[in-house]
Amino acid sequence: MRRWIFLSFLWLPVLVQAQYYSLGVNSGASFFRGETTAEGQLLSEPGIHLAAVYNKWIPLDERWQISGILDINAMNSRIKTGEGSLPELQAYSFILSPMVGIRYYFDRDLKDYVPEKYQDAFFLALYAGISMNKNQYQIPNEFTTENPYYSSDWGLSFSNMIQGGYRIFLNSHWSVEAQASLKYGTSDNWDAFNGTTNLKDWIFTTGLGLSYAFDFWR
């Protein structure tokens, strides 16, 4: 116990430094892909991408941030069922992904700083977490949901995401950013249709974000 108390005191000089964290929201478009899209069977339409983001500057080097994100994707997919009068199968996919990770800004001047107007930098972020997905099908009478290729139950899978972008501060608190990300998981049902291979689905998103940075003396 004494050892842990001693180690805690060693962290006090770090903890009492100026601390900054930000809360933000992102919105944009989502696109998914799997082996069905690669074979031209699945017709992917742009979907909605929304996210809530928390970033906390690391005092020792503020180019680094601890980051948490609640990532939401909602998409519509249609699969070809063959030639002739057979209708297409259609599904709506909802994917919720809470993830944690780290973000790095490519600017050496940000090592120890206070956010200020027009301060900008490119960044790269890595995330890992889980994804929960739910699918709703519009299936004609000729087909049935009792099929291994369909699943309307909640699915749970591990996922990871890489994100890159550019951020600029409008003043000492508000900032805007543009980003693109690629999310890959252990599920083949994100696009609502399980494929016949071991390939999993991935999602590409683009969007804009707005965030507010807080600072406090600690």
Residue of higher predicted confidence among 85 and 65? 65
What is the 3-class SS of the chain, one letter each residue? CHHHHHHHHHCHHHHCCCEEEEEEEEEEEEEEECHHHHCCCEEEEEEEEEEEEEEEECCCCCCEEEEEEEEEEEEEEEECCCCCCCCCEEEEEEEEEEEEEEEEECCHHHCCCCCCCCCEEEEEEEEEEEEEEEEEEECCCCCCCCCCCCCCCCEEEEEEEEEEEEEEECCCCEEEEEEEEEEEECCCCCCCCCCCCCCCCEEEEEEEEEEEEEEECC
* CA 201 to centroid of chain Cα atoms: 14
- Asked if pLDDT for residue 3 goes beyond 70, the answer is no
Residue 7 binned pLDDT confidence (cut-offs 50, 70, 90): very low
Residue of higher predicted confidence among 51 and 36? 51
> What global pTM score does this model have?
0.79
Q: Mean pLDDT check: name the lowest of 10-24, 90-104, 193-207.
A: 10-24
Predicted local distance difference test score (pLDDT) of residue 111 = 73
- Tokens (6 digits) for 68: 């948490």
Predicted local distance difference test score (pLDDT) of residue 10 = 43
- CATH assignment, 24-216: 2.40.160
| Mean pLDDT over each residue of the chain, to the nearest integer | 80
Q: Residue ranges of the domains in the chain?
A: 24-216
Q: Tell me the C-alpha distance between 83 and 88, whole Å.
A: 10
Do the beta carbons of residue 138 and residue 152 sit within 8 Å? no
Q: Mean pLDDT check: name the lowest of 27-41, 103-117, 164-178, 199-213.
A: 27-41
